[in-house]
Amino acid sequence: MPSASQASVDVNAALAAATKQTPPRPRVARPEVPFDTARGWLREMMLIREFELRCMQAYQDKKIGGFCHVYIGQEAVAVGCVAAVEKRDPIVTAYRDHGHALARGMDPRYCMAEMFGRIGGCAKGKGGSMHMFDRANNLFGGHGIVGAQIPLGVGLAFGTKYEDEVINGGKSSRVTLAFLGDGALNQGSVHEAMNLAGLLDVPVIIICENNGYSMGTSIVRGTTMGHDISSKASAYGMEGIAIDGMDVLETYWAMRDVVERVRSTSRPVFVDMRCYRYKGHSMSDPRKYRTREEEEAYERDDPIGRLKAHLESRGLTEDDFKSIQREVRATVRAAVEWSDQSPVPPMSDLYRDVYLERWGPYTGSSAPEMLGGGENEPSFKAIRPVEGEGELL
């Protein structure tokens, strides 16, 4: 009987053939990840899974409005990629962003409260599902405009390079992760940003979370070179690679190699991160464009199940797994209860956070609860009053 890891590779190859995509590169021998580290990744992935399940329930209960795109099935991507970088490295992503926020360290209470549109959310309930921001952890969103986060990601990377090299007179030493879905790959702004990244030696890793279906059409039907989108990188003078995003260990090691290269060379890289979403594009998606047999094949290759099997071979017991499960469920249940108690933003908040300072009818800005709340102290003055001619607006 094949091992769990061998079975995973076989399923991956078979599904790649079925969707006409080239399989990711063959695996190479890797060092063993410390047991406690891998166990921590298992907890993070289980936390994301449980959080998203409760989000689906809350959406059906009408506690969450608007659009809701859950991350179930792709947990290994966020956890593995975040583990491969440092906290000082910026991250920006698209609207399927709850997993990235939790992997980056956002408290589930603030993440869930934002889902609920409550004032205790990371953006004080004004962003909702698509806009998870955590400045303390260098997470710069969650963005709803398809592909628009890639120019932002390239800009963040250019900014860190400029600060490191020009302002501080040193060497560029930070890396930016900019995530997008395969459905955003044909947006013009993505290609403009990739062109600039390649032209200006920008230290950014553009990660396409390729779950195969964009919004509801197979990538091979809607994108040229859909069987191997990493080849698009060559047009912009950057390296392009494919990584198995269904295995957190492989994701971590492959991404760590990429991060080290980008950090040392200040050259961009494009990653075709092969993954699969178990649910629809959004909560309203009936998933009629793919078969149940295909979904079941991927579910047998569950990234959480893969890591659990790996840890069991190293001594993880069923009692230990159930203990993690109970703790995660209690954490998410507490986040839901906390969010239920958080107030709905008052109507007056329509006039807050439009400008940093008070301006006409607007009342300035304040920090969200997760940053301690309170009024923001402006670092500049938009208008300097002439002596004797009244107060600053």
Radius of gyration for the chain, computed over Cα atoms and rounded to the nearest angstrom: 22
Confidence at residue 378, expressed as pLDDT on a 0 to 100 scale: 64
Q: Is 12 exposed, middle or buried (0-12, 13-18, 19+ CB in 10 A)?
A: buried
Q: What is the pLDDT of residue 390?
A: 41
Provide the residue-wise pLDDT of the chain in tens; the chain has 393 residues: 444 444 444 555 554 554 567 767 667 778 899 999 999 999 999 999 999 999 999 999 999 999 999 999 999 999 999 999 999 999 999 999 999 999 999 999 999 999 999 999 999 999 999 999 999 999 999 999 999 999 999 999 999 999 999 999 999 999 999 999 999 999 999 999 999 999 999 999 999 999 999 898 999 999 999 999 999 999 999 999 999 999 999 999 999 999 999 999 999 999 999 999 999 999 999 999 999 999 999 999 899 999 999 999 999 999 999 999 999 999 999 999 999 999 999 999 999 999 988 889 999 999 999 998 888 766 654 444 445 444 433
Alpha-carbon distance 79 to 339, whole Å? 24
Give me the pLDDT at residue 1, please.
Answer: 40
Contact 133, 122 (CB under 8 A): yes
Residue carrying structure tokens 């195969």: 212
Q: String of b and e for 190-204 (b: at least 16 CB within 10 Å)?
A: bbebbebbbeebbbb
Burial class of residue 319 in the structure, from the number of CB atoms within 10 Å of its CB (0-12 exposed, 13-18 middle, 19+ buried): exposed
In a 13 Å sphere around the CA of 298, the CA atoms on its Cβ side amount to 23
As a whole number of angstroms, the distance between CA 370 and CA 136 comes to 9
Residues 347-376 as b/e (b if ≥16 CB within 10 A, e otherwise) read eeeeebbebebbeeebbbbeebbbeeeeee
Alpha carbon distance 112, 347 (integer Å): 21
Q: In angstroms, rounded to a whole number, what is the distance separating the alpha carbons of residues 339 and 115?
A: 9
Q: Are 35 and 78 in contact (CB under 8 A)?
A: no
Identify the pLDDT of residue 391: 41
Amino acid of residue 92 = V
Rounded Cα distance between 369 and 341, Å, is: 14
> In angstroms, how far apart are the furthest CA atoms of the chain?
87
Q: What six digits make up the tokens of 336?
A: 């839901």
Indicate the CATH number for domain 4-345: 3.40.50.970
Q: Which of 45, 46, 47, 43 is nearest to 332 (CA)?
A: 47
Task: Give the other-Cβ count within 10 Å of 299's Cβ.
Answer: 13
Task: Give the HSE-up count for residue 211: Cα atoms under 13 Å, Cβ half-sphere.
Answer: 27
- With tokens 């990744």, the residue in question is 41
Predicted local confidence at residue 139, as pLDDT: 97
Distance CA 317, CA 324 (A): 11
Helix axes 35-60, 303-312, angle to 10 degrees: 150
The boundaries of every CATH 3.40.50.970 domain in the chain are 4-345
Amino acid 17: pLDDT: 56
Residue 81 region, left (φ>0) first, then alpha (ψ -120 to 50), else beta?
Answer: alpha
